[in-house]
Every structure is written in structure tokens, then in C-alpha cells.
């Protein structure tokens, strides 16, 4: 499994908990979220919806690319990748 | 009471006017409740009824905030044709951020800016004081 760094900005840490930066293991984004859940129970449930898809209020970047335009939670990861989990800023 | 320097209020209004008929959006960041920087951001929706801060811009702003040790103090956006009050969409999409939301209304000849907390699906107005520097 690839070891990756997961970054959570301060503004989202207040809501989802967890650390600012943590190492996690996984060959896909989904696997990394499962690993994060072991370390920080409850965190995955705030990032994904009841169907297990990425919550519409959350954006995940793999390095500098939005995973919505890749394979979403099935996006493959490589050793040393950086995932950034961000809250979307949207309204009407 | 949220204290906002006049120059930032004026910049938000200028941004709102520049984007008419579309909604504008941006971020106010700083420390100790004092705004130190206004980020004009791109509304990726390009809509008169919706806004969505372009995700790559957001990534870079969040990184800068963490590098500088600043806080995201408020998110602003405009209502080009309606009052300065949160829409149902504003309330629905505010679930992941516990920050202040500023709304600039251009409906009247004189722009109106109001501030709200939207967490938990509730709307709570925060008194806004526009002050000289």
C-alpha cells in the first residue's frame, strides 16, 4: 500500500476533527479514507455521504488535481502523494 | 459585532458591481477577528443565482492561511437582484464551515451589506460595524 500525506486545513479541522497533517496508507483515495477512519473514527462519515460517495460539500485534491475530475474515490495513489481535504465554499 | 474596515466593505461592493449580473464571491481572512486580506475569487458557477469558489483558488487560499497562521473570518458573496439575506441555497451549502457569511445586495441604489451565521441550518444575523481603519 502507498503511504500518503493527508492535509486538512484548520477551518475544516474544526468541523471534521482530526489532525492538520497525517500519514495514511492506501492504493486509492477510498482506501486512505478507510485508514483515516481507523485513526480518527467518525471522520470518514463527514467526508462521504450515506452512499459512500464524496460529500458534495467536500473537495479532495490529489496533489493539485481535483479528484472529481479523476476517478473520484477510486483515484489511484502513489507513494508520497499528498491529499488535501477542503470544505467547498458555495451558495446562492 | 463584526468590525469591518471601510476599505474592505468598499472592495466587496466594487467586486459585486464588477460582476453584475453574476454573483461575486470572495474570502476575508485575518487574525484575532481583524481582517488582514480580502481574496477576490472566481465564481466557477458564473451564475446570477449561485456561487462556488473555484476549487484550485480555494486550495491555494487555504494553504496561504495555514502558512500565515490566519483564520478564515468570513465568506462574502453578492445578491445582484435580491435582498441581503441568506437564500435557501446559502443555508443548505453552508454545512461544512462555521464562519461568518457576508452578503452584498445591489437591489437598491445604495448597496446593503449584512452578516450572518449559517451553521446547523439556522440563520443568525451578526451586527456589522463598518469602521475607518
Q: What is the pLDDT of residues A37-91, one digit of tens each?
A: 898 888 888 889 889 899 888 999 999 999 999 999 999 999 999 999 998 999 9
**CATH number for the domain that contains residue A69:** 3.10.20.30
- Looking at the 3D structure of chain A, how many domains does it have? 1
CATH of the domain at B97: 3.40.140.10
Mean pLDDT value of segment B81-86: 97
Answer whether A69 touches B (CB < 8 Å): no
The nearest alpha carbon in chain A to B74 belongs to A89
Residue B132 C-alpha, separation from nearest chain A C-alpha, in angstroms: 28
Higher per-residue confidence, B35 vs A49? B35
Backbone phi and psi for residue B63, each to the nearest 5 degrees, phi listed first: -60, -45
Entry pTM: 0.91
B112 interfacial to chain A (CB closer than 8 Å): no
**What ipTM score was computed for the predicted complex, to two decimals?**
0.92
pLDDT of residue A16 exceeding 70: no
Of residues B12 and B98, more confidence is placed in B12
Residues of the domain holding A12: 3-87
How many domains are there within chain B? 1
Q: Sign (positive/negative) of CA torsion B25, B39, B59, B102? A: negative
The nearest CA of chain A is from the CA of B77 a distance in Å of: 8
Predicted local confidence at residue A15, as pLDDT: 67
Cβ distance B99 to A64 less than 8 Å, yes or no, reads no
Q: Which domain does B88 fall in, by range?
A: 2-131
For residue B80, the chain A residue with the least C-alpha distance is A92
Cis? peptide before B21, omega within 30° of 0: yes
Amino acid at each position: 500500500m502507498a503511504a500518503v500525506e493527508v492535509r486538512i486545513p484548520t477551518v475544516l479541522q474544526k468541523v471534521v476533527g482530526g489532525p492538520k497533517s497525517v500519514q495514511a496508507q492506501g492504493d486509492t483515495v477510498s482506501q486512505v479514507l478507510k485508514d483515516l477512519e481507523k485513526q480518527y473514527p467518525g471522520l470518514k462519515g463527514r467526508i462521504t455521504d450515506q452512499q459512500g460517495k464524496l460529500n458534495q460539500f467536500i473537495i479532495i485534491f490529489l496533489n493539485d488535481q481535483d479528484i472529481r475530475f479523476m476517478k473520484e474515490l477510486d483515484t489511484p495513489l502513489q507513494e508520497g502523494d499528498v491529499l488535501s481535504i477542503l470544505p467547498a465554499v458555495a451558495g446562492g | 459585532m463584526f468590525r469591518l474596515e471601510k476599505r474592505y466593505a468598499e472592495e466587496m461592493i466594487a467586486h459585486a458591481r464588477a460582476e453584475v449580473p453574476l454573483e461575486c464571491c470572495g474570502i476575508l481572512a485575518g487574525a484575532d477577528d481583524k481582517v488582514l486580506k480580502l481574496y477576490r475569487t472566481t465564481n466557477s458557477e458564473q451564475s446570477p443565482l449561485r456561487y462556488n469558489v473555484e476549487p484550485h483558488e480555494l486550495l491555494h487560499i487555504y494553504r496561504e492561511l495555514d502558512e500565515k497562521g490566519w483564520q478564515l473570518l468570513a465568506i462574502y458573496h453578492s445578491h445582484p437582484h435580491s435582498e441581503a439575506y441568506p437564500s435557501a441555497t446559502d443555508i443548505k451549502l453552508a454545512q461544512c464551515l462555521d464562519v461568518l457569511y457576508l452578503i452584498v445586495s445591489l437591489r437598491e441604489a445604495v448597496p446593503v451589506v449584512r452578516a450572518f451565521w449559517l451553521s446547523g441550518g439556522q440563520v443568525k444575523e451578526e451586527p456589522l460595524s463598518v469602521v475607518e481603519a
